Amino acid sequence: MKDKAWIKTLLEIYRHLELIANTIDEMAQEEVQRSFSSTYRTTMDSVETLMELNERKRKIINIKVIIENAIVKLKNPIDQKILVLYYFDGLKSAEVTELLHLSTRTFFRRKNNALVELLSIMEKSSYTLSWWLKEYKDEKWLMGQYQANIEKDTEFDALQKLYLLKNFRQELKTI
């Protein structure tokens, strides 16, 4: 259950990773500007902040690459399309079923099987749940979404997106 909640979390946040990376870039630019205009921040403070932002962006990019590499390894191209359309493109299940000419039951069965296969692919590549939790434990915005998926086993919605981005921005401001 927790492994599946993690895979869902990664897929749900995927379409927002570019926005998060861009937010990091904006904050880095703000830090550079602040470093030139502030008499209170030392150069070393600014360098440390920029290094932290760079590390966080690296982690965001890694999530994107790991997910993309795992998706293309799914055996069935229909399963790939289901996950991409549903999670990456944000289509509703009814839209995906209509687009791919699937019954609702077939859609949910294939989606579930694809999630299980995706989990297996990631684990074979050493991206186990314990690896993810260790590597991303300090990303509170991500861990919060994962916890919500464990507790509710709900799908990502617009309010969760706003909550995720708000938490991410607040977390970056503490750097």
pLDDT of 60-118, one tens digit each?
999 999 999 999 999 999 999 999 999 999 999 999 999 999 999 999 999 999 999 99
> Which of 126-130, 137-141, 145-149, 161-165 comes out lowest in average pLDDT?
161-165
Spell out the domain ranges in the chain: 2-77+126-173
Give the integer Cα–Cα distance in Å for 74 and 86: 15
Structure tokens of 81? Answer: 């399309």
The backbone torsions φ and ψ at residue 138, rounded to the nearest 5 degrees and listed phi first, read -85, -5
Q: How far apart are CA 50 and CA 53, in angstroms?
A: 5
- Answer whether 70's CB lies under 8 Å from 125's CB: yes
157: pLDDT strictly greater than 60? no
d(C-alpha 59, C-alpha 13), whole Å: 13
Residue with tokens 């915005």: 141
| SS3 at position 40 | coil
Question: pLDDT band for position 36 (50/70/90)?
Answer: confident
Please determine, for residue 133, whether its predicted confidence score (pLDDT) is greater than 80.
Answer: yes
Cβ-based neighbours of 6, under 8 Å, separated by 6 or more: 129, 132, 146, 149
Higher-confidence position of 29 and 35: 29
Mean pLDDT of the chain: 88
- State which H helix or E strand residue 166 sits in: helix 158-173
79 Cβ neighbours under 8 A, 6+ residues apart: 110, 111, 113, 114, 117
Q: Could you read off the pLDDT of 96-108 as tens digits, one per residue?
A: 999 999 999 999 9
The one-letter code for the residue type at 154 is: T
Could you give the CA distance from residue 13 to residue 118 in angstroms, rounded to a whole number?
16
